[in-house]
Amino acid sequence: MGFKAKARKHKADSGNESDVEKKTAAKEGEISCGIKSCDGYADKSFGGRSLSIDNAIDVWGDGGYSERKGRVRVCKSCYRKWKKDNKSEDTY
């Protein structure tokens, strides 16, 4: 029964419990983007990716991200930003 709800870090400050949405319609992810200046979600369903630490340092600098098991989970838009900055790897 809803054990996954524990993963939510959102606090309901309105106290409006009846307004809590079911998981099917949720727009929130469970994995937050590893980039500190970003509050997107890095879930696969959101198009999130994981980058290596070196990749993250290249774009966001040392300390601009938080790592997770040696990888940095990034949201879709951060991934695109990284890809832009690494065009050389993307050209054929």
Residues interacting with Zn ion, by CB under 5 A?
33, 35, 38, 40, 75, 78
Residue closer to Zn ion by CB (options 25, 48) is 48
Closest CA relative to residue 82, chosen from 46, 38, 44, 43: 38
Residue closer to Zn ion by CB (options 37, 88) is 37
75 dihedral zone (left: phi>0; alpha: psi -120 to 50; beta): beta
Cβ at position 82, least distance to Zn ion in Å: 10
Cβ at position 21, least distance to Zn ion in Å: 22
Measure the CA–CA gap between 48 and 63, rounded to whole angstroms. 20
Residue closer to Zn ion by CB (options 20, 53) is 53
Cβ at position 10, least distance to Zn ion in Å: 17
